[in-house]
A and B are shown apart, each in its own frame.
Chain A
Amino acid sequence: MSVNYNKNSPSIKTRYAKLHQKENKNYTPETLSLTSQLLSINPEFYTIWNYRRQILTEGIFPLKSATEVNDLITADLNLTMSALRQNPKVYWVWNHRRWCLEHVPENPGEDQSNWRKMSWVKELRVIESFLDADPRNFHAWNYRRYVLQSPYVDHTWEQELNYTTRKIESNFSNFSAWHQRSKVYTSLWERGINDEELKSIKNQEFNLIKQAIYTDPGDQSIWLYHRWLVGEGKDEELLRREIEMIEELLSIEPDRCLDTLIHYKTLLLRHRYSLKDRDECITLSSRLRQLDPFRDGRYQDIANELLSMPNN
């Protein structure tokens, strides 16, 4: 819906003032349509969203059948959809959409959860269209995680992993997707899997990151993820393998690789300390200082820490 106004028109002010007779508790269909108009002008009027929910729950729903309530909720889902199409980053609108989903009534027929299930499952498709339009929209990602938690949505961790793989393969720098992957794995590990499985998952993951690194070694996101997988480097064999991979890469993109290389070599020093290896790390860090003068202070701190590292 579009509302015409010119700069001198008092319409917003008067309509707004009218709505603010909240003491009157005017919960009628007329005030409901007034809130629609105001929200289409400015979806950030959080007080009007609040008022709208009050009108619905206190003035309108009690007089309606379940089918009519379901239709009204659907209408509000559509209202938030058109608001989000215009501006997909308004907190209040996402919030109202959650409220809508949570207020889908139970249908009076046999299959009690049908309407609700349909709404939540549909929501997963809706959210994918938002993430297609902007794969980094964190509102949409948050909303996705919220929808996935619903008992009405059957979605396995493998499915979610596949989804993030698709997102990553279309753009390796999609940090939001890497992040989501870290969450899927964390919850998997927290539930407990055996060492063999863990090792095979990690190896698969290292292969995917390797592709990403070779595509854009300058992207910090991927290195962060790589470091997270390596962890504290307790698996020395793995640590050495990854160090070797980075050393091969060093000739292409020294800058970012060096940072992680120093990090891993420092981890290795904790396993096996030698002055020679420590000095190599310090030399690498001074190379990094020259390559990336913006973050000189950090590299200096890293070198100082290496100098004061206990040699046990």
Chain B
Amino acid sequence: MKSNISTELLVDSHVKFIQSLGEDRDLTYHLTTHLRMNAVYWAVTALCIMGRKEALDREQMIDFVLSCWDDEAGGFGSHPGHDAHLLSTLSAIQILTIQDAVDRMDVPRVVKFISSLQTSSGTFAGDHYGETDTRFSYCAINALSLLDMKYLTPGTAVIDVDKVIDHISRCRNFDGGFGSGVGAESHAGQVWVCLAALSILGRLDIVDEKTLGWWLAERQLPNGGLNGRPEKLEDVCYSFWVLSSLSILRKLHWINRDALISFILSAQDPDDGGIADRPGDMCDVFHTLFGIAGLSLLGYPNLQDIDPVYCMPAKLIEKKGLKKTWLALPRHLS
């Protein structure tokens, strides 16, 4: 375990850490190809929030995204040669949106791919092999809204929006939270995807805000970190899932800001950069993004705003006219 615990965000180290991710093509690189597209999205979003978007080459990134096109399915896979999946397709659309290059992909085919994945119960499958999950409903809603709100608007909608909402409401539990499917236990990650989808669709009215807000606030543990379910360990990635959910409910002041900031900062690697799930563990780009995104929502100084509904730069989402009613904590000056 590292002894020198940082008390501030090591922006330069994290930028270097992110830049180094693609360089070393060792075994780990090859064992994580199934996550590559998501990793690029995590990397570029983290850089945007730190105000260092240009640290990764734009053209190279766009070329990579386009090279993951699965022409048989009409969507994006996680790596060249991998099958199309909704998770990687959303990441591809998010990256191209951030790089202002959506016109470089075949939008009508992607829209068709996404809408073909809605099942008769209203939820979405991740691909044509049929695994369903509220995560995939969110991916579909998020992706379609980024491409054009008309795909979700009555009259021009390409999916059955009411059925999605009905399905999400059936995934609601007695604790106010949501699970991955009907009957499944509440989990902070699933709570976030359901709230974010409902927020995009303007249907937060079906949420029991008080009970869910209580459940979310109780995710903070005495060490300041947040867990994802009762009686579980704290983990930096929940800093985003719990915080963004509270932010969508405009209840971010229901947890302790300073204690959580200290926890996230203590999970940084002061030597090689990056943020881990908890202090002393191996860093990865996933926890690096969600740590930084959490800090941004908490008003940590010198960061760009993140949109908690899309987990993308807030300015960009606002420019696209997609900003919702969420509330982040005011940004501190230092």
Residues of chain A whose beta carbon lies under 8 Å from any beta carbon of chain B: 5, 7, 12-13, 16, 20, 22, 41-42, 44-47, 49-50, 53, 91-92, 95, 98-99, 136, 138, 141-142, 145, 173, 175-176, 179-180, 182-183, 186, 219-221, 224-225, 227-228, 259, 293-298, 301
Say which residue of B78, B129, B185, B254 sits within 8 Å of A298 (CB atoms): B254
Interface residue? B1 (CB, 8 A): no
User: Binary interface profile of B, 6-35, with partner A (CB < 8 Å = 1, else 0)?
Assistant: 000000000000000000001100110111
Residue ID in chain B nearest A305 by CB atoms? B210
Q: List the B residue with the shortest CB-CB distance to A148.
A: B183
| Set A173, A182, A295: member contacting B217, Cβ < 8 A | A295
Contacts A95-B131, A145-B184, A224-B175 given; does A173 touch B231 at CB 8 Å: yes
> Taking A42-B31, A136-B231, A176-B185 as contacts, is the C-beta distance between A224 and B174 under 8 angstroms?
yes
| Pairwise interchain contact B255-A12, C-beta atoms closer than 8 A | no
Per the bound structure, the CA–CA distance linking A5 and B186 in Å amounts to 40
With a cutoff of 8 Å between Cβ atoms, the chain A residues found around residue B77 in the complex are 47
Are the CB atoms of B183 and A145 closer together than 8 Å?
yes
- Interface SS of chain B: helix, strand, loop or mixed? loop
Distance (whole angstroms) from the CB of A242 to the closest CB of chain B: 16
20 additional A-B pairs beyond A20-B81, A45-B34, A99-B129, beta carbons within 8 Å, are: A44-B34, A46-B83, A47-B82, A136-B232, A142-B181, A145-B184, A175-B231, A176-B185, A179-B174, A219-B231, A220-B230, A224-B175, A225-B174, A228-B175, A259-B214, A295-B255, A297-B251, A298-B251, A301-B251, A301-B254
Instruction: Let me know if B180 is at the binding interface, CB within 8 A.
Output: yes
* Distance of A296 Cα from B186 Cα, bound (Å): 24
Task: Report how many residues on chain B are interfacial, defined by Cβ distance under 8 Å.
Answer: 45
Chain A residues near B179 (CB, 8 Å)? 138, 142
Interface SS of A by simple majority = helix
Whether B213 sits at the interface, judged by CB under 8 Å, is yes
The 29 listed contacts between A and B (C-beta, < 8 Å) are A12-B30, A20-B81, A22-B81, A41-B31, A44-B34, A46-B85, A49-B129, A50-B83, A50-B129, A53-B129, A99-B129, A138-B179, A142-B179, A145-B184, A179-B173, A179-B185, A220-B215, A220-B230, A221-B230, A224-B174, A224-B175, A224-B215, A228-B174, A259-B214, A294-B220, A295-B256, A296-B256, A298-B213, A298-B253
Cβ of B229 within 8 Å of any chain A Cβ, yes or no, is: yes
The complex places the Cα of A145 from the Cα of B179 at a distance, in Å, of 13
Neighbour of B184 across the interface among A142, A175, A219, CB < 8 A: A142
Q: How many angstroms between the C-alpha atoms of A221 and B251 in the bound complex?
A: 21
The answer to whether B232 touches A297 (Cβ under 8 A) is no
Asked if B211 CB lies within 8 Å of chain A CBs, one says yes
Q: How close is A273's CB to chain B, nearest CB, in angstroms?
A: 19
Query: Which 6 residue pairs of A and B lie closest in terms of their CB atoms, listed nearest first?
Result: A297-B253, A228-B174, A294-B256, A298-B254, A20-B81, A47-B82
Question: Could you tell me if A295 and B185 are in contact, using CB atoms closer than 8 angstroms?
Answer: no
Q: Mark B122-161, 1 if CB is under 8 A from A, else 0.
A: 0000010101010000000000000000000000000000
Give the chain B neighbours of A228 by CB distance below 8 A: 174-175
A295 touching B31 in the complex, CB below 8 Å, given contacts A141-B185, A221-B231? no
Q: Please give, as numbers and ranges, the residues of chain B lying within 8 Å of A92 by CB-CB distance.
A: 131
Shortest distance from the beta carbon of A296 to any chain B beta carbon, whole Å: 8
